[in-house]
């Protein structure tokens, strides 16, 4: 007959065995893994922290979560907040007050606008809104009229129009309306990595819809990430990220709308006022998330022939472009880092040499 005492004994023996087994397991694999998924910047942000005690990791995640929520509010292009207040002031020909973090991302935005010859242009907020992308869900119906688009292009809003003096910002051109959507995610993940480092965390991965940034490694192995197949469920390639590296992908499969069989991407060509065509995704490997994110957008605008020059001008060495016919092109430095997504898979990428960067006098204002 089985008595309660026997059950208790059996259970405690099992627990003891389990405890011993766990102890052995821990000694062989001293990994503590803490994961969290946050909803910020209109996307899910997954953070995984290794080798940190649970209490510290949880506290760091709360801290980072609050920071990302605050950045999301402050940098939002169309909801009331610090950036929309600034946009209102600019439209009225006045100056607006910003905090250090907003001033910093705007200064960097001006650098990327200059280096990309205006292909990356966070001052085209009115145009982005006109195309219907200032909403949580994709726009529906017909694209805007050309007569509405052309005046916005002719007004030539550029980041160089901004007059930034410490924490007050104005614009020489009232057509400037700031939209940080092209690089806010990268800039925010960079700041999140900084915050995790301040908590003493060395090994972590942060993943936010198309952007992955790592710290340290995954238990003596590098963090391995996949580049999504823009045409089907799955991956086209895998990349092992070294400590401190980031991989940002811009794709017209992320946010778009279809009308009469035509697809309109949320990445706009500031020269024409129309969405980019012919490119499905661009991935940029770098150590600076804001720059990689901005460059992925800029190279999407640059298109299949112009992108190597713009990459060189922005200081990017590793980039991959997937055209809408499925052709893959990448810089030699990027090809050296790409692996097939699975053992039995193949990878066909056309190498594209990077030209020398063109001389420019671009600087952070
Ligand atoms: P994702 O958000 O899918 O990663 P991107 O990083 O390319 O894609 O950002 C696209 C967003 O950037 C658009 O939704 C818009 O807010 C903004 N944007 C669109 N075109 C440009 C451009 N030429 N330069 C800068 N920002 C842009
Ligand atoms: Mg981008």
CA nearest to 342, candidates 211, 235, 201: 235
Nearest CA to ligand 1 atom 27: 182
What is the 7 CA–ligand 1 centroid distance (Å)?
62
pLDDT of 11 reads 38
Q: Which atom of ligand 1 is nearest to the CA of 300?
A: 7
Tens of pLDDT, residue by residue, the chain (365 residues):
344 444 333 433 333 333 333 333 444 555 689 999 998 877 899 999 998 899 999 999 999 999 999 999 999 999 999 999 999 999 999 999 999 999 999 999 999 999 999 999 999 999 999 999 999 888 888 899 999 999 999 999 999 999 999 899 999 999 999 999 999 999 999 999 999 999 999 999 999 988 999 999 998 899 999 999 888 888 999 999 999 999 999 986 667 777 877 888 899 999 999 999 988 899 999 999 999 999 999 999 999 999 999 999 999 999 999 998 999 999 999 999 999 988 888 899 999 999 999 999 999 99
Number of residues written out for the chain: 365
pLDDT of 12 reads 37
pLDDT of 254 reads 64
CA nearest to 113, candidates 306, 318, 290, 333: 290
**Of the bound ligands, which one is closest to the alpha carbon of residue 179?**
1
E-strand ranges in the chain read 33-40, 43-50, 96-97, 162-165, 168-171, 203-208, 211-215, 223-228, 235-241, 246-251, 256-259, 262-265, 268-269, 274-275, 279-286, 318-323, 328-330, 338-339, 350-351
Nearest CA to ligand 1 atom 16: 181
pLDDT digits (tens, 9 = 90+) for 15-26: 333 333 333 344
**Of the bound ligands, which one is closest to the alpha carbon of residue 267?**
1
- Residues in the ligand 1 pocket, defined by CB under 6 Å: 120-122, 128, 133, 179, 181-182, 210, 250, 254-255, 266-268, 270, 293, 296-297, 301
Is the separation of the CB atoms in 203 and 218 below 8 Å?
A: yes
Q: CA of 178: how far to CAs of 105, 141, 265, 328, in Å?
A: 11, 25, 19, 32
Q: Which atom of ligand 1 is nearest to the CA of 120?
A: 24
The 10 Å Cβ neighbour count of residue 338 is 21
Is the separation of the CB atoms in 325 and 346 below 8 Å?
A: no
Is the separation of the CB atoms in 285 and 247 below 8 Å?
A: yes
Q: What is the β-pairing status of strands 279-286 and 318-323?
A: antiparallel
What is the 147 CA–ligand 2 centroid distance (Å)?
28
Q: What is the DSSP string of 7-52?
A: HHHHHHHHHHHHHHHHHHHHHH----EEEEEEEETTEEEEEEEESS
Is the separation of the CB atoms in 182 and 289 below 8 Å?
A: no
Is the separation of the CB atoms in 193 and 215 below 8 Å?
A: yes
Q: Whole-structure pTM over 0.85, yes or no?
A: yes
pLDDT of 253 reads 67
Residue 350, CB half-sphere, CA atoms under 13 Å: how many? Answer: 10
Handedness of CA 85, 90, 96, 101 (dihedral sign): positive
> How far is residue 141's CA from residue 9's CA, in Å, rounded to a whole number?
69
CA nearest to 112, candidates 184, 42, 174: 184
Sheet holding 338-339, edge to edge: 223-228, 235-241, 338-339
The burial of 222, by beta-carbon neighbours within 10 Å (0-12 exposed, 13-18 middle, 19 or more buried), is given as middle
């Amino acid at each position: 007959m089985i008595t309660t005492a026997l059950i208790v004994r059996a259970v405690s023996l099992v627990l003891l065995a389990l405890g011993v087994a766990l102890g052995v397991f821990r000694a062989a694999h001293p990994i503590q893994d803490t994961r969290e998924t946050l909803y910020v910047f209109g996307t899910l942000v997954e953070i995984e922290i290794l080798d940190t005690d649970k209490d510290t990791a949880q506290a760091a995640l709360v801290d980072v979560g609050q920071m990302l929520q605050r950045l999301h509010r402050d940098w939002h292009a169309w909801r009331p907040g610090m950036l929309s207040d600034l946009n209102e002031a600019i439209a009225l020909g006045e100056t607006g007050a910003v905090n250090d973090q907003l001033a910093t991302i705007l200064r960097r935005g001006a650098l990327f606008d200059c280096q990309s010859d205006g292909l990356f242009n966070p001052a085209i907020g009115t145009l982005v809104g006109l195309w219907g992308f200032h909403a949580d869900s994709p726009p529906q119906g017909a694209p805007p009229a050309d007569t509405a688009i052309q005046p916005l292009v002719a007004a030539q809003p550029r980041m160089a129009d901004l007059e930034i003096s410490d924490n007050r910002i104005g614009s020489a051109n009232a057509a400037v309306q700031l939209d940080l959507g092209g690089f806010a995610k990268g800039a925010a993940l960079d700041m999140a990595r900084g915050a995790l480092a301040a908590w003493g965390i060395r090994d972590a991965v942060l993943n936010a819809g198309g952007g992955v940034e790592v710290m340290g490694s995954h238990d003596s192995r590098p963090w391995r990430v996949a580049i999504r197949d823009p045409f089907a469920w799955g991956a086209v390639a895998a990349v092992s990220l070294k400590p401190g590296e980031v991989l940002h992908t811009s794709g017209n499969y992320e946010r778009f709308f279809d009308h009469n069989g035509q697809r309109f991407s949320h990445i706009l060509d500031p020269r024409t006022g129309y969405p980019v065509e012919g490119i499905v995704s661009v991935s940029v490997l770098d150590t600076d998330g804001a720059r990689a994110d901005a460059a992925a957008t800029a190279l999407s605008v640059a298109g299949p022939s112009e992108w190597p020059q713009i990459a060189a001008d922005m200081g990017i060495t590793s980039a991959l472009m997937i055209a809408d016919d499925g052709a893959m092109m990448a810089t030699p430095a990027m090809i050296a880092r790409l692996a097939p997504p699975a053992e039995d898979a193949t990878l066909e990428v056309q190498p594209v040499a990077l030209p020398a960067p063109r001389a420019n006098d671009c600087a952070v204002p």
